[in-house]
Amino acid sequence: MNPLKVQRSRVQLLTDLPNIGPSMAASLQRIGISSPGQLVGKDPFELYTSLCRKTRTRQDPCVLDVLISVTSFMNGGEPMPWWHFTEARKRQYGAI
């Protein structure tokens, strides 16, 4: 969902999360995440590597940015566009 439209009190489905559309929701389900609450306390890099393993392909680094955005949101952060997290991801994880 567009981060500007997210209302924390209405988040029930994965697609209610900022930056999550049907495709990314399916990717999250593929690694065992079926509800937003399951993202609380999760490490976005572990989610990313799990998805890479499950799909047997290196996911685009932007996928990690999206995972950082939704785990941040579910841990109390503001809903922000995924690209807001790109620089922090590059600093923390380097080239992936």
Secondary structure in 3-state letters for 30-66? HCCCCCHHHHCCCCHHHHHHHHHHHHCCCCCHHHHHH
Kindly report the average pLDDT of the chain as a whole number. 96
Pull the structure tokens for residue 22.
């049907």
Rounded Cα–Cα distance for residues 65 and 67 (Å): 5
pLDDT tens for 23-63 read 999 999 999 999 999 999 999 999 999 999 999 999 999 99
Q: Can you give the residue ranges of every domain in the chain?
A: 3-93
CATH class of 3-93: mainly alpha
Given this model, what pLDDT does residue 47 score? 98
- Which element (helix H / strand E) includes 96? none
